[in-house]
Amino acid sequence: MRNIFNPFIVAFAGFSSLALVTSCSKEARQEAAAESAVESVVDVTEDYCELLESIKDKDSAKAAIAKMDGLADKYAKVAGKAKKAGDTPPDAATVAKTEEQMKPLQDRMVKAATSAMPIIATDPELVKAFQEKQTLIATKMQEAAAK
């Protein structure tokens, strides 16, 4: 009597292997997306620091605020990368490296904002424009995360 289950066993093993490889591949893509998102946060934060640091007077504040559209797009890309990562966190080494890079950037951001905000605050139109751009950044990030 011939074993009729043998082809089924082979087929099952093949499908199981394919599912395992697909699952691992998806997990690897999500981990790579998480790492990319975390690394991109550093770049965007640096860009935001540079933008704030460029504010020296009302004219430079207007110019910086005009550049915030591009910053909003960059933040949206970061949010999109984070969405691709799903629930998969970046590896511990990436997190540690990012935390190390972010600490001086956070200090730099506070210093730049402390310097820029009084200049922006001198003109209600600048305040309004700055707030609108901040809202734009938040909106674009939410839209990217929802896609």
Q: Answer whether 48's CB lies under 8 Å from 130's CB.
A: no
pLDDT of residue 117: 95
3-state helix, strand, coil in the chain (%, to 5): 90, 0, 10
pLDDT of residue 33: 62
pLDDT of residue 57: 97
pLDDT of residue 56: 97
Domain boundaries, the chain: 32-146
pLDDT of residue 76: 87
Mean pLDDT by 10 residues, the chain (147 residues): 43 42 56 70 90 96 95 86 71 81 90 95 96 92 83
